Structure 1
Amino acid sequence: MQQGAEYSLDDHGADGTRLVLSGHLTLASIGPFDRAVKAIDGPIHAIDLAGVEEIDTVGAWVVCRAAHRLSSEITGASPEALRLLASVQDIDVDGPMRPPRPPVWERVPLAVGDKVFGARSGIYGVVAFFGQILIGAGSLIRHPRRFPIKALVHQMELVGVTALPIIGLMSFLIGIVIAQQGSVQLEQFGAESLTVNLVGRITLRELGVLMTAIMVAGRSGSAFAAQLGTMRLTEEIDAMRTIGISPVEVLVIPRIVAATFMMVLLGFYASLMAIIGGAVVGDLTLGIPFWTFLARIQEVVPEHDLWVGLIKAPVFGLIVALAGCYHGLQVRGNSEEVGRRTTMAVVSAIFAVIVLDAFFAVFFTEIGWG
C-alpha cells in the first residue's frame, strides 16, 4: 500500500517557520494532506520538499497553491519536482471555479436562437427522411418482388399480436373506470342508463384508439428507435448500403406498414375490450345485464363514431412508426445517443398523436360527425 504524504512544522529555522514535507505527494494520497495544509494559518517562510519521495502533477499543484496562500518559497525540490512545479506555478489558484455566466437578457435570446437553429436542422432532416421513404416506396412498387414480406410479417407480429394482452387489459380497465366514474356522476341526475352512451361513444371515438396509440408509441415506437439506433452504432446500416441493400426498403418501410395496418386492428380491439369492461361494471353495479348493455351499444352509438376511430387509427400508427424510425436513424456517436433518441421518439410521437387527435376532433365536428 502506498504511503501517504506527511508534514511537520519546523520553528527552529533562522529565517522563520518551515513546512517540511515527506512521503508521497500523489493523487492517491494527497487528499488528507491538502485538508491539513489548508488548516494552517500562521506565516510559513519556506516549504521544504527535500524529504518527498514521489510527486505528481496534482501534488505539485497543491504545493504551489499552499506556497501562494502562505507566501512561502519552495526549497529542497528534486529536478523532477522542479519541472512539475514550473509547469503548474502559473496556474491561477484563486481563479473562478466556474466560467462567467452571461446575464439573463443575453442567455435567453441565445438559447432561443439555438433552439430555432436546431429546429431548422430537424425540419431538413425530416423532409430528407420523407424523401427517402417515397423513393424507397416507389422502388418497391416498380419491383414488387423485392418487398420484404417476411420482415413485414415479423413486424406485424411484434407490433400487433404480442401487444394484444397488454392493450386488452389496459382497455378493459379503462372501460371499467369510465363506466364506474361516469355512473357516479350521472346518478346525480337520475341518468345512470346513459352510462351505455358514455362508454360506447368515448371508447369507439376517442379513448380506444388514443390510448392504443400511446401504448404502441411507448412499446413499438421505442423499439424501432432502439433497434435502428443500435444498428447505426454497429455500422450494420452502412454495411447494408455497401452491399447494395437499401435500409429504408428493408428496415423502415416494413415497420411503417406494419404499425399503420396493425394500429387499425389494435384500435378496434381496444374499443371492444373497453366496452366489455363497461358492460361488466353495468352488470355488477348498475343492474344492466351484460348482453343488454352490448345490445344497447348498437342502438345508441352512431355508426360514424366507429368510422372516426378507424380513420384516426392508421394515421396515429403512421406517426408512431415515422417518429421511431426517424430518431433511430439519427443516432450518432455513442450508446447514450440511443437512449436519448429513443426518449425523443416516444415523446414526439405521443405529442404528435395528441395534437392530431385535437385536429381530428374539430374536423369531424365541422363535417357533422360530432
Structure 2
Amino acid sequence: MAVWADFETNDGADGAEVRFSGRLTLARMGDLPQRLDELGPISLLDLSNITRIDTVGAWIVTRTMHRHDAKVVGASTDAQRLLDALANDTSEYRVHADRRPAWVRMLEQLGTASVAIWNELLGIIGFFGAMIVALFNQVRARRAIRWNAIVTRFQTVGVDALPIIGLMSFLIGIVIAQQGSVQLKQFGLEVFTINLVGRASIRELGLLMTAIMVAGRSGSAFAAQIGTMKLTEEVDAMRTIGVSPMEAIVLPRVAASTITMPLLGFYASICAIVGGGIFCWVGLEIPPLTYVQRIREIIPMTDFWIMLIKAPVFGILIGVTGCYEGMQVRQNAEEVGKRTTSAVVAAIFLVIVLDAFFAVFFTSLGWN
C-alpha cells in the first residue's frame, strides 16, 4: 500500500489528468506540491486512490483546482467535506513571509514607537488632571490630609536618598572641576574653574542629577508598590469601602516627591560645590577661603530661584509618572516589572525635556 503522497498523469483533451495516490497529508506530502506546480494545464484531479487526506492535502487540491480550473472527482465523504470548507479559499500562502525592505520596517517601528509615546504622554496628562480633581474634591469636602502617609514617603523619597545623592553629587563636582580645569589651563584661566563648578551645580546639574536619581529610586518604587496593590486587588477594595485611591495612594506620594525635591536639589548642589572645592584645593592649590569668596561672587540669586522653581515641577512629574504607570498594571506580575521600567524611562525623559524648556525659557527672560 502506498504511504507517501504521489500522483500519475495522463494526457487529456483539455490538459493533464492527475490521479493522486497514497496519503495526502502533511507528514507524507514530500515534494508533491513542487512537482504539481511544474505541470502544465490540468483538467482533472482524481482522488479515488488516496488512502487519507488532511487539511493541508485538501488545500493543495483546492489551490490546484482554482489555478487550472480543473475538475475534482473520486473524493470520499471526508475529503469532500474538507474541499467544501476550503472551496472559497483562493489565497496564495507562503512558508516564509515576504521580507519588506529594511527602511520600511524601520519607519514602521518608528511610527509604532511614536504612537506609543504619544499615547503614554496623553495618559500621564489625563492622570495629572484626575489627580487635580481629586485634590480639589478633598479640599472642598474638608477631608483631612493624610499627613502620616506623606511623612512616611518623606523617609523613602528624601531621607533614605541622602547618602547616594550626596556621594553622587560630590563626585560630579570633582569631575566638573577636573575636566574644566584641564581645558581652562590651556589659557591660564584655572581660577574660572570655580565659576564652572558653582553655576553648573546650582543652576543645572545638581538638580538634574537629583531628579534622575529620584526617578530611578522613588518613581520605580511608586510604580512597583501601586502595581502590586492592583494585582492583589487592594485598590479595588479601597473603592469598595468608599476610599478614593487617588487620595489615599497617589496624592501622598506626589506631595512627598514635590516637597522633598527642592531640599534634595539644594543638598546635591552643595555637595557638588564641596567636591569641586576639594579638587580646586588639592589639584589647583586654590585656598578654601578664596574658593568660598569666589563662589559667593559668581553665583547670582537668579540661579538659586531657578533651581527652586524647577525642583517642585520635577517632583510632581516624577510622582505622577510613577503612580500612573503603577495604576496601569492589569494582568500579571510581569507587567509590574514592565510598568516599573516604563515609569523610570518616562520620568527621566520628561525631566530632561522640561529642563531644556526651562533653560530656554529663563534665558529668554534674561536670567543668565
Question: Is the pair's TM-score, using the shorter chain for normalization, greater than 0.5?
Answer: yes
Q: How far 1:225 sits from its partner (Å)?
A: 3.4
Q: How far 1:194 sits from its partner (Å)?
A: 1.0
Match of 2:285 in 1: 287
Quick one: which of 300, 303, 306 aligns to 2:304? 306
Moved more, 300-309 or 315-324: 300-309
Is 1:42 the equivalent of 2:39? yes
SS of the counterpart of 1:42?
Answer: coil
Q: How far 1:313 sits from its partner (Å)?
A: 1.6
Change (3 A) 1:123 1:369: closer
CA–CA distance in structure 2, aligned partners of residues 297 and 91 of structure 1: 80
SS of the counterpart of 2:5?
Answer: strand
Match of 2:207 in 1: 209
Q: How far 1:261 sits from its partner (Å)?
A: 2.2
Superposed CA offset, 1:283-310 (max 9, x none): 4532335676456534543455334323
CA–CA distance in structure 1, aligned partners of residues 51 and 232 of structure 2: 49
Q: Residue 5 of structure 2 contacts residue 32 of structure 2 at CA under 8 Å; is this kept in 1?
A: no
- The CA RMSD measured in Å over matched residues stands at 4.1
Q: How far 1:256 sits from its partner (Å)?
A: 0.8
Q: Residue 38 of structure 1 contacts residue 66 of structure 1 at CA under 8 Å; is this kept in 2?
A: no
Q: Which amino acid aligns with 2:132?
A: F
For residues 119-138 of structure 1, the aligned pairs below 5 Å read 126-138=128-140
Q: Residue 160 of structure 1 contacts residue 266 of structure 1 at CA under 8 Å; is this kept in 2?
A: yes
Q: Residue 7 of structure 1 contacts residue 20 of structure 1 at CA under 8 Å; is this kept in 2?
A: yes
Q: How far 1:242 sits from its partner (Å)?
A: 0.4
CA–CA distance in structure 2, aligned partners of residues 134 and 304 of structure 1: 32
Change (3 A) 1:46 1:346: same
SS of the counterpart of 2:21?
Answer: strand
Q: How far 1:220 sits from its partner (Å)?
A: 2.5
Q: Residue 5 of structure 2 contacts residue 25 of structure 2 at CA under 8 Å; is this kept in 1?
A: no
Is 1:18 the equivalent of 2:16? no
Aligned length: 342
For residues 47-58 of structure 1, the aligned pairs below 5 Å read 48=47, 50-53=49-52, 55=54, 57-58=55-56
Q: How far 1:48 sits from its partner (Å)?
A: 2.9
Change (3 A) 1:94 1:311: closer
Match of 2:104 in 1: none
CA–CA distance in structure 2, aligned partners of residues 309 and 133 of structure 1: 26
Quick one: which of 247, 252, 268 aligns to 1:254? 252
Change (3 A) 1:37 1:367: closer
Moved more, 338-347 or 252-261: 338-347
CA–CA distance in structure 2, aligned partners of residues 163 and 76 of structure 1: 81
CA–CA distance in structure 1, aligned partners of residues 139 and 48 of structure 2: 75
Superposed CA offset, 1:190-218 (max 9, x none): 21111012101110121111221133234
SS of the counterpart of 2:4?
Answer: strand
Q: How far 1:257 sits from its partner (Å)?
A: 1.6
Q: Residue 25 of structure 2 contacts residue 52 of structure 2 at CA under 8 Å; is this kept in 1?
A: yes
Q: Residue 6 of structure 2 contacts residue 32 of structure 2 at CA under 8 Å; is this kept in 1?
A: no
**TM-score scaled by structure 1?**
0.73
**TM-score scaled by structure 2?**
0.74
Q: Residue 150 of structure 2 contacts residue 256 of structure 2 at CA under 8 Å; is this kept in 1?
A: yes
* Identical amino acids, percent of aligned pairs: 50
Match of 1:143 in 2: 144
Superposed CA offset, 1:101-123 (max 9, x none): xxxxxx9xxx9xx99x9688876
Q: Which amino acid aligns with 2:33?
A: V
CA–CA distance in structure 1, aligned partners of residues 65 and 122 of structure 2: 53
Change (3 A) 1:78 1:206: same
CA–CA distance in structure 2, aligned partners of residues 286 and 197 of structure 1: 14
Match of 1:152 in 2: 150
Match of 1:237 in 2: 235
Change (3 A) 1:216 1:49: farther
Moved more, 254-263 or 173-182: 173-182
CA–CA distance in structure 2, aligned partners of residues 129 and 95 of structure 1: 52
Moved more, 84-93 or 179-188: 179-188
Q: How far 1:240 sits from its partner (Å)?
A: 1.0
5+ unaligned residues in a row in structure 2: which ranges?
99-107
Superposed CA offset, 1:151-197 (max 9, x none): 33443333234434543343234323322222223223321111012
Q: How far 1:82 sits from its partner (Å)?
A: 2.0
Superposed CA offset, 1:323-365 (max 9, x none): 3223433556777876776566445544543454355446656
Change (3 A) 1:184 1:223: same
Q: How far 1:86 sits from its partner (Å)?
A: 0.7
For residues 1-370 of structure 1, the aligned pairs below 5 Å read 6-11=4-9, 16-22=17-23, 24-25=25-26, 29=27, 33=29, 36-40=32-36, 41-43=38-40, 45-46=44-45, 48=47, 50-53=49-52, 55=54, 57-69=55-67, 72-94=70-92, 126-139=128-141, 142-144=143-145, 147=146, 149=148, 151-232=149-230, 234-288=232-286, 293=291, 296-330=294-328, 345-346=343-344, 348-358=346-356, 360-361=358-359, 370=368
Q: Which amino acid aligns with 1:136?
A: Q
5+ unaligned residues in a row in structure 1: which ranges?
99-106
CA–CA distance in structure 2, aligned partners of residues 289 and 257 of structure 1: 41
CA–CA distance in structure 2, aligned partners of residues 234 and 201 of structure 1: 48
Q: How far 1:17 sits from its partner (Å)?
A: 4.0
